Structure 1
Amino acid sequence: MTQPPQRGLGRHYQMLLSAYVISNAGTWVYRITLPLLVLHLTGSALQTAAVYALEYGPFLLLSLPGGVFADWFNRKRLLVAGDLSAGVIAAVLAVLVSAGPSALPAIYVVAFLLACAEPVYHPAFQGLLPDVVSGEHLDTANARLQSADNILSLVGPVLAGGLVAAVGYQPAIYLDAVSFGLSALLIFLIRVEVFRPERPARPNFLGDLRAGLRYVTRGNRTLLAGSLLFTGSNFGIWLVQANLVYYLTTYLKLSSTVVGVVYAAQGVGALLGSLLAPRVIRVLGNGRTIALSTVMAGLLTALLAVLRDPVGVSVVSGLVFALGSTNVVSWFTLRQRIVPKELLGRVVAATRMLAFSTIPLSALLAGALEDAWHDMYLIILIGAGLRLAVGLAGTRSSLVAKQPAVTP
């Protein structure tokens, strides 16, 4: 028996949150274990780096198709199928580990297949959430998901590394497979009325894909403004973030331990930002929260060019990441509220791909500029200025206008 979204968050949301935490904890095990395994088998930095390329490739190839699938099929069933498929693939990967270096080509293929699940899973998950939680509680629901993600980002690598040291590569990957199975079970047990899109007798994949892109670019000015803001903001962020380790160690002469403290401060800031996001959104609204937090993050980032002591750098970095996390919670909530449910999967995929598209370009440009200029202070100011500029543009856009009514 299915139920409508419950008042408050309710037990169905708690099950969805638990599934998210369990599967993402397993994913952290995989993210740490696989590069360590490849390095152990090959001793090659290039082949180890190829693992990360394999993770990014499916995102570029499958994000938009994944959004179409999330709008074509029952999203709950799609999540269950995705978790079960990922669990089986992870189990196959664990079996291959015992074969040693001879299985490396097969390990790469299976790792690529495992990475293919995420571009389909994410838009389906974002599309299912409004079916589980009533509209007025979406900000809190997204905030808790973001908080869980931030906590896992803090403790996941440490726990995964400790797990590999304690039990070895193969058992660690088997545990990853089990985590996907548990996530599938929890989502399967959720009993809510899931939105069922009306599919035409002859589905048109390219036509549906174009419809999603058309809605992002022409159908909703608020959505387009937010997408462009995040695209530009990410470019500015990664001009700084891509060279941060180099800057901290080479310019500020900080030890690796202190560099770790700076990154930990970023993680703590992101966690606090996600926890405070619902209160900020209730005061400012979604659009103003996005625009103003981007403005403030740009101003604070500029301080990194003048601060020299590790305490100040850590505090400012933490505040910048707190604003960024609040930003993400507000964006997810706004997108779920204003996009028609039958388009939500495609819109999530398209806006996410657009926002992420500038990250690799910005990271490469950051390194090239440092090699050419040898002036990280200027590069930081450029990144901060770009983030400030897109935030100010956001304050003059439809983001801060009266928001459309919640989509039924």
Structure 2
Amino acid sequence: MSRQLQRRTFFTIIGEEIGQFERRASKSVNGQERTLETAPSVQSIEASALSPLRHPVFRSLWLASVVSNVGTWMQAVGAAWLMTSLAPSPVMVALVQAANTLPMFLLALPAGALADIIDRRRLLLFAQCWMMLAAAVLGFLTVYSITDAWLLLLLTFSLGIGAALNAPAWQAIVLDVVPRSDLTAAVSLNSAGFNVARAVGPTLGGIVIAASGPGAVFLINAASFLAVVIVLFLWRKPATRSVLPAERVFGAIRTGIRYVRHAPALQAIFLRAVAFIGFGSSIRALLPVITRFELERGPTAYGVLLGFLGAGSVAGAFLMPAMRRRMNVDALLAFSALLFAGMLFTFAGVRVFWVLCAAMFAGGVAWLALLSTFNASVQAAVPVWVRGRALSVYLLIFFGGLAGGSALWGAVAEAISLSASLVIAGAGTILGLVATMQFSLSRRQTEGLEPAMDWPTPTLVGGGVETGRGAVLVTIEYRIDPARQREFVGAMQRLRRIRRRDGALRWGLGRDTTDPERFIEFYVVESWTEHLRQHERLTVADRAAFEHARSFHTADLPPSVSHFVFLSGKNEGA
């Protein structure tokens, strides 16, 4: 009875906090109820390591995710252990990990597109319920001794599908529940919670397996998803409304890739992430071999070393605000990369266990500082309409770097030696830092990414045009003083990136050969609907760039804008 009361009280408190938060986020304007942004004001809370936990929705989601992640790590231990009984082959055991991670490679981009074109809360509810169902089915089948090796792989793959669908949306909602000033701290707390679960989950999983078998672990994991499902169900996220039809998945993927191609700020983050992850993956790939053959210790020592890495990551979450106050983003990344390289050099030449534990702790601090900075930088550099897709590309890079890097460093260590490969990895971490320092993250634009709601929307006069099909040519005519034409062309290059980033297939700028003051900007969009989406995607910063370019226009009337719709060959032969 008391346990039921405790559970009821826990969920009642969560519901009350979310309800109170949403009631505060709603106020009356001219007698009508208007829903405000879920995230509080940037000025409302001073940034600190724990300040995101002051926001009820984030706090509830964070606590629920820690519980769920503990269950996930218990599941990983149980699945691997069960496979050693069902099919005691190294290949089959390795396939368990492959079945869990392969969906992330296959579905990262579609999942990111879904996170942007449908309601993220509903997508998360679907993904969490999917994983809960898959874990429950696996648990019951295992308890009744029905599970075989291939069924285990199939249901593990199903769990991986849910995790892949969940990841971009889960990271994209951070800015929906905390202000931008708390973004880095919130990302760090999420990473710390994950590392706490990684330290606790495998140990609990081993205890439960020894006492009740793998089936009990799978059922516990299924139950752990319930906390996240309840919090998401109680959270009433304000819906983002659009008069335009939702994008299709494959079209949304193309739009996301196009955005990345024409967003130098994102490319800088991805390049710096690749330069680190490729070399940073070496320690995770080689640590089991170092522990067993170099240190001549067993799985307990391996778990202790991983525990110190996780403890360092948790400590890093608390140290991040202080480090951010003392150095800018580029200096923080440089310091963290050097610290991580120092850990690799230590493992290359030292075989004293407690020294290696201390090195792992320092490496954990560096690991969290680097990855949380990359993640927060991606979220801070993009507007809300493409946030899920940008994060999905980052996740693809991250998991691809871990998988590819692990295989690479295993081959390098086998070809030369463990110590030499770690020295190369440490030196590569430093060289990667030096090579990518030109791509500064401190000078990136993070303000003005909210939608410019007052930008005029073009109208389509007359019928007979399929708004979802047929390319659209847009032309804008400018009158430019010859003395300022060089400045004007420079300003238009920024517009070129904005147009291409937001959906233009082609862009150009031409000058009239008979009238040197007359310039024509033109670009092509795949459909009228996509052109209207361009107007919806325009941010406050984009509007400032447009107004700067138009400030060179010398005529009394605004620049003349024309739209031409391709008629799919209807005029041919006329």
- Is the shorter-chain TM-score for this pair beyond 0.5, marking a shared fold? yes
- Please list the CA deviations of residues 146-172 of structure 1 after superposition, one character each: whole Å capped at 9, or x if unmatched: 111111111110011112222322232
1:384 maps to which residue?
A: 426
> Which of these residues, 339, 344, 366, is aligned with residue 323 of structure 1?
366
Give the superposition deviation at 1:263: 2.6
Alignment TM-score, normalising by the size of structure 1? 0.91
Aligned to 2:332: 289
Indicate the residue corresponding to 2:68 in structure 1. 23
Q: How far 1:398 sits from its partner (Å)?
A: 2.6
Shift, 1:137, TM fit: 1.3
Q: Does residue 1:359 correspond to 2:359, yes or no?
A: no
Q: Which amino acid aligns with 2:39?
A: P
Measure, in 2, the Cα distance between the counterparts of 1:47 and 1:152: 26
2:277 to 213, 223, 234: 234
CA gap of 1:198–1:30, structure 2 versus 1, over 3 A, is farther
CA 1:40–1:350: 2 relative to 1, 3 Å? same
Match among 388, 392, 395 for residue 437 of structure 2: 395
Q: How far, CA to CA, are the matches of 1:51 and 1:390 in structure 2?
A: 33
- Aligned equivalents of 1:116, 1:306: Cα separation in 2: 41
Conserved in 2, the CA contact under 8 Å of 1:68 and 1:209? yes
In structure 2, which of residues 39, 47, 57 is the aligned counterpart of residue 5 of structure 1? Answer: 39
Match among 191, 195, 199 for residue 146 of structure 1: 191
In the aligned structure 2, how far is the partner of 1:236 from the partner of 1:199?
A: 46
Amino acid at match of 1:268: A
Work out the CA distance in 1 between the residues paired with 2:242 and 2:135.
34
> What is the deviation of 1:122?
1.0
Identity of aligned residues (%): 24
Q: Aligned pair in 2 of structure 1 residues 203, 263: CA closer, same or farther (>3 Å)?
A: closer
Which amino acid in the other structure matches residue 159 of structure 2?
Answer: L
Instruction: Write the distance in 2 (CA, Å) between the matches of 1:92 and 1:249.
Output: 36
- Please tell me whether residue 277 in structure 1 is matched to residue 311 in structure 2: no
Quick one: structure 1 residues 98 and 259, their matched pair in 2 at CA, closer, same or farther if it must change by over 3 Å? Answer: closer
**1 CA distance for matches of 2:228 and 2:432?**
38
Q: How many angstroms does 1:340 deviate by? A: 0.8
1:210 maps to which of 239, 254, 258:
254
Structure 1 residues 282 and 223: alpha-carbon distance in aligned structure 2, compared to 1, 3 A threshold:
farther
* Secondary structure of the corresponding residue to residue 130 of structure 1: helix
Are 1:343 and 2:377 counterparts?
no
Shift of 1:72: 0.9
In 1, Cα distance between the equivalents of 2:323 and 2:448? 19
Deviation at 1:77, TM superposition (A): 1.4
Residue 446 (structure 2) aligns with: 404
Gapped regions of structure 2 (runs ≥ 5): 1-18, 26-37, 46-53, 451-574
Aligned residues: 405
Question: Which protein is richer in helix relative to its size?
Answer: 1
> What is the distance in 2 between the residues matched to 1:330 and 1:192?
26
Range that drifts further, 74-83 or 236-245:
236-245
For residues 127 and 102 of structure 1, what CA distance do their matches in structure 2 show?
Answer: 36
Pick aligned residue for 2:116 from 57, 62, 71: 71
Corresponding residue of 1:112? 157
Larger Rg: 2
- 2: CA distance, partners of 1:49 / 1:235: 21
Is the contact between residue 67 and residue 197 of structure 2 (CA under 8 Å) also seen in structure 1? Answer: no
Note the 1:298-337 alignment, pairs <5 A: 298-337=341-380
Distance 1:137-1:292 versus aligned 2 partners, 3 A rule: same
One-letter code of the match for 1:15?
Answer: S
Q: What is the CA–CA distance in structure 2 between the aligned matches of 1:151 and 1:25, rounded to whole Å?
A: 8
| Larger deviation, residues 245-254 vs 221-230 | 245-254
Q: Deviations over 1:6-49 (max 9, x none)?
A: 34432111111122112212212211111222222333333222
Change (3 A) 1:209 1:318: same
1:19–1:187 contact (8 Å) kept in structure 2:
no
The amino acid of 2:57's aligned partner reads H
TM-score (norm 2): 0.66
| Structure with greater strand percent | 2
What CA RMSD, in Å, does the superposition of the two structures yield over aligned residues? 2.3
Distance 1:290 1:218, change over 3 A: farther
